[in-house]
Copies of this chain bind each other. A is one copy, B any other.
Amino acid sequence: MNALEERILKEGRLLPGNIVKVDGFLNHRVDVGFLRELAREFKAHFGEKKPNLIMTVEASGIPLATVCAEEFGVPLLFAKKAKSDNIEGGLLTSEIMSYTYNKKVTLIVSGEWLNEGDRVLVIDDFMARGEAMRGLAKIIEQAGAELIGIGIAIEKGYQGGGDGLRSSGIDCYSLAIIEESSGGGIRFRERELG
């Protein structure tokens, strides 16, 4: 069991509707020193592929993606979920279903900041059905950039998003994969190392 799995068991709770609540250290009162350890694991896995850009979606993925960007020594770009008057120029967009909010949202990146030839590593804190990840993949393709992999802290394996991405050939690497839980317990998928 790795450090993240241990921490999930210690602090995480399952709420009704299979919502995994680990806000305490991952996306509310965020333990940035711990995110640094996770970033190092992503560096060990993805470092050889030499990404030149880290991407994520606002808002809860940003702290982890920020630390990863510094760890890889590359810039951070995050997709917004609504049009801001501050974004000028050509927009890259992708409509996705947000099951957290139960509505469609549009991911938006200004074409100015994502370029042909960029080697993009996508980082996010959580993945369930993988909608946001597919949306980012589409935006990266629109820009003529290359998706070199997806790094997730906690994947809800029983929702199938990660396996879908992996079966389409994407290097999707999750540090903890929660399988279907019953009786209030949390069970992790055995991980292949590396």
Contact A30 B75, beta carbon cutoff 8 Å: yes
Which chain B residue shows the least CB distance to A71? B32
Binds B, one of A43-51, A80-88, A186-194: A80-88
Q: Counting CB contacts under 8 A, is A15 at the interface?
A: yes
> With contacts A19-B86, A23-B86, A59-B62 known, is A70 near B73, CB below 8 A?
no
Interface assignment of A67: CB less than 8 Å from any CB of chain B = yes
Complex formed: what's the CA distance from A100 to B82 in Å?
12
Copies of this chain: 2
Contacts of A85 in B (CB 8 A): 19, 100-102
For residue A28, which residues in chain B have a CB less than 8 angstroms away from its CB?
77-78, 110, 112-113
In the complex the two chains form, what is the Cα distance from A63 to B73 in whole Å?
14
CA distance A28 to B66 in the complex (A): 12
Chain B residue numbers with a CB within 8 Å of A7 are none
Among residues 3 to 31 in chain A, which have CB atoms less than 8 Å away from a CB atom of chain B?
A: 15, 19, 21, 23-24, 28-31
Does A180 make an interface contact (CB < 8 A)?
A: no
A76 within 8 A of B: yes
Residue in B closest to A33 when the chains form the complex, CB atoms = B70
Q: Quick one: which of B36, B58, B59, B110 contacts A70, CB cutoff 8 A?
A: B36
Chain A positions near chain B (C-beta within 8 angstroms): 15, 19, 21, 23-24, 28-33, 35-36, 53, 58-59, 62-63, 66-67, 69-70, 73, 75-78, 80, 84-86, 88, 100-102, 110, 112-113
